[in-house]
A and B are shown apart, each in its own frame.
Chain A
C-alpha cells in the first residue's frame, strides 16, 4: 500500500468497483426506504417487501419466469449438447459448417430480430396448421430454448474439444457400446460444462425481456415484462425491493459456485501434492 504505484492501482480499482456497483447499491438502499417516492429518503422500513409478497401479479410473473427458465434450461442443455456432440465427435459431414454457423448464430443475432422472426413463424404456423394455438408460455419456452441452446452448445463444445478423445475410445475398446460410453464416460466428464450451460440458459431465460415480449401472449407475462411495464408507469419502491431480492439470489448463487469450485481446486491441489509426495 505504501508505494505510490500500488496506491494508484488501488484507486483505480475502487473507482471501477464504484462504477459497477454504486447503482446496484443505491437500488438496495432505496428498497428499504419508507417513503412512497423512490428518490426521497424518509427512514428505514421493510414494508415494501411485505407489499411485494402480497402482490399477486408479481408473484405470478416470478413463478412463471422460474418455470419457463427451468424448462428452457433442460431443453437447451439437451439440444445444445447434441449439437456440440455432432460438431466435435462425428467427424466431417455434409453440412457441418452450416450447422456450426446456424447453431451459434443466435449469439450474435440482435434480440429484436430473433423475437420478430419467431413471432412471424408462430403466427404463420398457427395459420397454416393451427399449432401452436395462440401464444403464451409454450411459445416463450420454444423461443428461449432456441437462443439458449446456442450458448450451451458453445460451452459444451469447448469442453468436448478439450477432452482427450482416446478416453472414449478406451471405453469402447474395453467393451462399452457407444451409448454406454456416452452416459458412463463422456457425460460425467463434461458434467461441469453441462451444469454451467444449464445455469447460463436458466439465467438468460430469466432476464430476457425483448424476445419474451415478442412471442408472449395474453396471460403469460414474465417477471421482466411485468417489471418493465410497471417501471414505465413510474418508479416504485416495490420494484426496488424485488430487484434487491433478485440481486441477493444471484449473488448467493455466484458466491456458492465460487466457493464450490475453490474447494474443488483445493482438493485437487492437495491430491497432486499427495501424489508427488508419495512418489518421492
Chain B
C-alpha cells in the first residue's frame, strides 16, 4: 500500500527495520475487571525515542494499557518488556517509568520546586545535583520564576508544565502521558503540543501518550495505535492512519469520511471497479485490492479529496456523482458542504476558501457534481 511513498530522510523509522529491537514489547497482554475485558490480547512494539500515541474513545482500554506500563495494574495474561526486562511483578516505585497524570496530580501541600524534587529525593540524589537538576528542568519548562508557588497559585498551563517537569526530572526510560493536553484550552493546547514535541526531541525520552483527541495524536505522534474495544485495530504513522485506514472503524474514527458500500464488478492487478448504489456511480480505483470478487466492501473517501462544482467535470462516467446541496457550514478557512445524493445518502465535501468572495459560489439547493481522483478511494473489507 505504501509503495508510492518516498521515505522521509528526516524521520527515522525503526519499526520498518526488521533488525531493530523494540524498546517496549507488549506481548498478548490481557486485563480483565470482573467480566469486563478492558485490554484484549494486545501485542505492540514501541521503539526507542518514539512518541507513540494510543488513540481511542473512552473505555477502549488505552488508559488501562498505560496503567499497566506504569505498574498500577498487573496484566491477567501476557507480558510487558521494557528495554529487555520483564516488568511482571515490579512495583510502580521500582520501574524506570514515570507518568504524567491527566489531573496532573501535583502535591497540593508542596511548592513547585518541591513537587519537581520529590522524585529525586526518593532516589537519595546528592543535594547539589538534585537542586541543579530541578533548576534546569524548571528552566526548560519556563517556570523558573515560579519555584516557590503552590500548585493552586498556578494556571492550568503552568500546572501542566510542572507535572511534565516532575515526571521528566528523573530521566525515565519511558514517559507515560495520560491525556496531557486534555485540560487546556484550544490555543494553549496548540502551542503546548509543539513544546512537548521539542522537549521530547531534546531529551530523547520515549513517550507513550494516551489521548482521545485525534488531532492531538496526529500532530504529536511518530506512530499511532488506534484502539477499540480493548484491541489495537491499526498501528501506523499519522499519514498511514489517515490515508490508508485498514478498517471502517479507523477510517471513521480518525477524521471524517464518506463511506460508500459497493461490490467489485471488474478487477485486475492494477485496478478495480466498484459499483456502488450508495454513491450512485461506479468507483474506479487505480490499484488492485486483496478482496474476493463480488465481496461486499466499502469505499472510504475523505471529504477534502472530493471536488465540488456546479458544472459537470470532464469525466462523468466514473468517480463522479451528483446531488443537491443541503447544508453549508462556513468555517473561515474552508467550507463544508452536505450534499444529498440520489441514493438518499448524505455526503460531506470540504473545500478550501481560496478566494475571498465569488458570485459563483455554491448555494443551498444547488445541483452539484462531485468528483474525485482514482487514487482517492480506500477500499475497506472490514
CA distance A177 to B91 in the complex (A): 9
Note all chain B residues with C-beta closer than 8 A to A275.
149, 152-155
- Give the number of residues in A that approach B within 8 Å (Cβ atoms): 24
Q: Does B6 belong to the interface (CB within 8 Å)?
A: no
Note all chain A residues with C-beta closer than 8 A to B158.
279
In chain B between 97 and 140, which residues have their CB closer than 8 angstroms to a CB of chain A? 97-99, 101-103, 105-109, 118-119, 122-123
Against B, the Cβ 8 Å flags (1 = close, 0 = not) of A138-178 are: 00000000000000000000000000101101111111110
Whether A272 and B98, one on each chain, are in contact in the complex, defined by CB atoms closer than 8 angstroms, is no
Whether B109 and A164, one on each chain, are in contact in the complex, defined by CB atoms closer than 8 angstroms, is no
Q: Does B92 belong to the interface (CB within 8 Å)?
A: yes
In chain B between 147 and 178, which residues have their CB closer than 8 angstroms to a CB of chain A? 149-150, 152-155, 157-158, 166-167, 170
Nearest A residue (CB) for B178: A166
In chain A between 237 and 269, which residues have their CB closer than 8 angstroms to a CB of chain B? 268
Whether A174 and B152, one on each chain, are in contact in the complex, defined by CB atoms closer than 8 angstroms, is no
Note all chain A residues with C-beta closer than 8 A to B170.
174-175
CB distance from B108 to the nearest CB of A (A): 6
Whether A174 and B103, one on each chain, are in contact in the complex, defined by CB atoms closer than 8 angstroms, is no
Q: Which listed residue, B70, B105, B122, B153, touches A175 by the CB 8 Å rule?
A: B122
Q: Does A126 belong to the interface (CB within 8 Å)?
A: no
CA distance A174 to B103 in the complex (A): 16
Q: Does A66 belong to the interface (CB within 8 Å)?
A: no
* Contact A189 to B109, CB < 8 A, known contacts A173-B70, A173-B99, A175-B123: yes
In chain A between 162 and 215, which residues have their CB closer than 8 angstroms to a CB of chain B? 164, 166-167, 169-177, 180, 185, 188-189
Note all chain B residues with C-beta closer than 8 A to A271.
150, 152-153
Q: Does A274 belong to the interface (CB within 8 Å)?
A: yes
Whether A268 and B152, one on each chain, are in contact in the complex, defined by CB atoms closer than 8 angstroms, is yes
Whether A185 and B99, one on each chain, are in contact in the complex, defined by CB atoms closer than 8 angstroms, is no
Nearest B residue (CB) for A165: B105
CA distance A189 to B106 in the complex (A): 12
Whether A272 and B152, one on each chain, are in contact in the complex, defined by CB atoms closer than 8 angstroms, is yes
CA distance A188 to B154 in the complex (A): 20
CB distance from A265 to the nearest CB of B (A): 12
Whether A185 and B93, one on each chain, are in contact in the complex, defined by CB atoms closer than 8 angstroms, is no
CA distance A119 to B10 in the complex (A): 82
Q: Does B72 belong to the interface (CB within 8 Å)?
A: yes
CA distance A268 to B152 in the complex (A): 8
CA distance A32 to B105 in the complex (A): 57
Q: Which listed residue, A164, A166, A175, A278, touches B119 by the CB 8 Å rule?
A: A175
Q: Which listed residue, A167, A170, A188, A272, touches B99 by the CB 8 Å rule?
A: A170
CB distance from A257 to the nearest CB of B (A): 20
Note all chain A residues with C-beta closer than 8 A to B107.
167, 170-171, 185, 189
Note all chain B residues with C-beta closer than 8 A to A185.
107
CB distance from A33 to the nearest CB of B (A): 51
Whether A166 and B93, one on each chain, are in contact in the complex, defined by CB atoms closer than 8 angstroms, is no
CB-based closest 9 A-B pairs: A175-B122, A174-B119, A170-B105, A166-B105, A279-B155, A166-B101, A271-B153, A275-B153, A188-B109
Which chain A residues have a beta carbon within 8 Å of chain B's beta carbons?
Answer: 164, 166-167, 169-177, 180, 185, 188-189, 268, 271-272, 274-276, 278-279
Which chain B residues have a beta carbon within 8 Å of chain A's beta carbons?
Answer: 70-72, 91-94, 97-99, 101-103, 105-109, 118-119, 122-123, 149-150, 152-155, 157-158, 166-167, 170
Q: Could you pull out 21 A-B pairs where Cβ atoms are within 8 angstroms?
A: A166-B103, A167-B106, A167-B108, A169-B99, A169-B101, A169-B105, A170-B99, A170-B101, A173-B71, A173-B72, A173-B92, A173-B93, A173-B97, A174-B118, A175-B94, A176-B93, A176-B118, A180-B122, A271-B152, A274-B153, A275-B152
